[in-house]
Structure 1
Amino acid sequence: MSIHLVGGGWPVEDDGAVYRAFFDEIAAHAEAAGKLEGARLAIVLVRDGDAPEKYAEVVAAFEQLGKIDPVPVLAPENAPIAPTAFAEVDGVVVWGGLTPAYRQSLEPAFGELRRLVASGVPYLGFSAGAAIAAEKAIVGGWKIDTVEIGSEHAAEDLEQLTVGAGIGLIDLAVDVHAAQWGSVSRLIAATESGAVDGGVAIDEHTALIVGEGPLRVVGRGSVWKVTPDTGSVRVSTAGADPVPAAG
């Protein structure tokens, strides 16, 4: 079972490839548990005002991708989410919105989420849900001191680069909406400053899949990898893995 990190991009449109492996995994988990009604899927939304509407929209899209028994885990921004919200689930989706609010709301459940993933429950983080999956989560900001390191549009209501403790599912920092919001520059600056030890920035409509084998990239865009390199940084990109030819 794997950790699926999606860089954002909504609606799903033709993004089946981005989510297919996740839905295959939760179906297998549910089948192994003898569940016939579909995979019990916790869907986390931390949003003020529109959480029920957005939840319905996400469920409708996901029901086109697989048979699920959806479990709403909805909270206003910064309201705590109890670990018991994830009882007996076959998969966890943490959706998008204000990244600092997701980090704060889910912090009481970080240990339970780590336990679930370690036991074989697949995790899918979309946008904010991908960012907070990291051990050191980039939660926002567009400056370091007075130096601009990215777009204020991508700052998540924070001025200074802010890194906080994430769920801890992966050791690389994660930034999202990479090409669309220009967040690669923030990840580069965070790495150069030592705030993080390198990481990945994921384009919209693109997923990085972290499992037992090699890292996989699926979807339309790229994953940008930033690593420290003797006082500087090295930046590389990876696109979707080629689909094997039939026959």
Structure 2
Amino acid sequence: MPSVFLIGGGRGEDAVRASHAPFVHAVGESRIVVLVLDEGEDTDTDRWAHSLTDAGASEVVTVVVSKDRPPAAEDFAGAGGVFVAGGWTPGYQEVLVGAGMDWLPRDAVYAGFSAGAAIAGEWAIVGGHRLGEREVCAEEAGEDLEQLTVRPGLGLLPFAIDVHATQWGTVTRLIHAVRAGLAPVGWAVDEGTVLICDGDRVAGVEGLGSAYRVAGGEGDLRLEVATAAP
């Protein structure tokens, strides 16, 4: 299985280049197809194309997807990389996971930014800021959901992924998700940072921040911190 790149978000030029360049390097000169969720007036295809070309991509094609226009295998003809953009995570999960997996080319390198990273694993943390009555992260990170919500993901990796880890305080959301048994293990990734996976194995971290691994259930939680090599 090709490599998977999980980007935790971030808008600054340095953060974008640092987190996108490893994926672009892995794809090489091949075409990258970017999937962008149709969010009406908030849909911004140029942002994602510019982010990748600024990181060195040779050819970028954007495809806007929705429930009425899900991705199709023919969208990826000649593509060496698939990049799933950020935005409203529940919508990305509904459209892309709901379309099954036939659309995703098995020989292409995958990268997900924020929402695109969150839906990549077997378990997709799509939002929520409470677990029962308990606050587990900032309300602003809830994606219009109150309760911590885990749905099926694309299944590219055997763990859950949360994003904007330090910046939005979502490490605690991941901790509560694992502690409650909503996912057995997970990683939370900082902005400007990419968690790189080789097959289903985590191969390393690159970029400006850190990634946090949470495993174990109630009474046996384990937290590990991984950062890029200096």
- For normalisation by structure 2, the TM-score amounts to 0.90
Q: Relative to 1, partners in 2 of residues 1:178 and 1:91: Cα closer, same or farther, differing over 3 Å?
A: same
Give the Å deviation of 1:2: 1.0
Residue 83 of structure 2 is matched in structure 1 by 93
* 1:41 aligned onto 2:32: yes
Equivalenced residue count is 227
Quote the Cα distance in structure 2 between the aligned partners of 1:200 and 1:151: 18
Q: Relative to 1, partners in 2 of residues 1:191 and 1:230: Cα closer, same or farther, differing over 3 Å?
A: closer
Q: Relative to 1, partners in 2 of residues 1:80 and 1:167: Cα closer, same or farther, differing over 3 Å?
A: farther
5+ residue gaps in structure 2? none
Q: Relative to 1, partners in 2 of residues 1:167 and 1:14: Cα closer, same or farther, differing over 3 Å?
A: closer
SS of alignment partner, residue 13 of structure 1 = helix
Do 2:127 and 2:142's aligned partners in 1 also have CA atoms closer than 8 Å?
yes
Residue 235 of structure 1 is matched in structure 2 by 223
Quote the Cα distance in structure 1 between the aligned partners of 2:15 and 2:224: 26
Q: 1:66 aligns with which of 43, 52, 56?
A: 56
Do 2:180 and 2:217's aligned partners in 1 also have CA atoms closer than 8 Å?
no
Q: Relative to 1, partners in 2 of residues 1:14 and 1:106: Cα closer, same or farther, differing over 3 Å?
A: closer
Q: 1:208 aligns with which of 174, 195, 219?
A: 195
Give the Å deviation of 1:214: 5.3
Give the Å deviation of 1:207: 0.5
Give per-residue Cα distances to partners, 1:76-101, cap 9 Å, x unaligned.
5x545132323332100001001000
Q: How does 1:128-139 map to 2 (within 5 A)?
A: 128-139=115-126
Residue 27 of structure 2 is matched in structure 1 by 26
Do 2:17 and 2:54's aligned partners in 1 also have CA atoms closer than 8 Å?
no
SS of alignment partner, residue 181 of structure 2 = coil
5+ residue gaps in structure 1? 28-37, 243-247
SS of alignment partner, residue 106 of structure 1 = helix
Give the Å deviation of 1:150: 1.4
Give the Å deviation of 1:233: 0.8
Quote the Cα distance in structure 1 between the aligned partners of 2:51 and 2:119: 23
Q: 2:179 aligns with which of 192, 196, 205?
A: 192
- For normalisation by structure 1, the TM-score amounts to 0.84
Q: How does 1:48-197 map to 2 (within 5 A)?
A: 48-50=39-41, 54-76=44-66, 78-84=67-73, 85-112=75-102, 116-117=105-106, 119=107, 121-197=108-184
Quote the Cα distance in structure 1 between the aligned partners of 2:47 and 2:188: 26
Q: Relative to 1, partners in 2 of residues 1:235 and 1:113: Cα closer, same or farther, differing over 3 Å?
A: farther
Residue 2 of structure 1 is matched in structure 2 by 3
Larger Rg: 1
Quote the Cα distance in structure 2 between the aligned partners of 1:145 and 1:15: 35
SS of alignment partner, residue 216 of structure 1 = strand
Aligned-pair identity (%): 37
Q: Relative to 1, partners in 2 of residues 1:21 and 1:104: Cα closer, same or farther, differing over 3 Å?
A: same
Output the aligned Cα RMSD.
2.0
SS of alignment partner, residue 231 of structure 1 = coil
Do 2:128 and 2:139's aligned partners in 1 also have CA atoms closer than 8 Å?
yes
Do 1:80 and 1:106's aligned partners in 2 also have CA atoms closer than 8 Å?
no
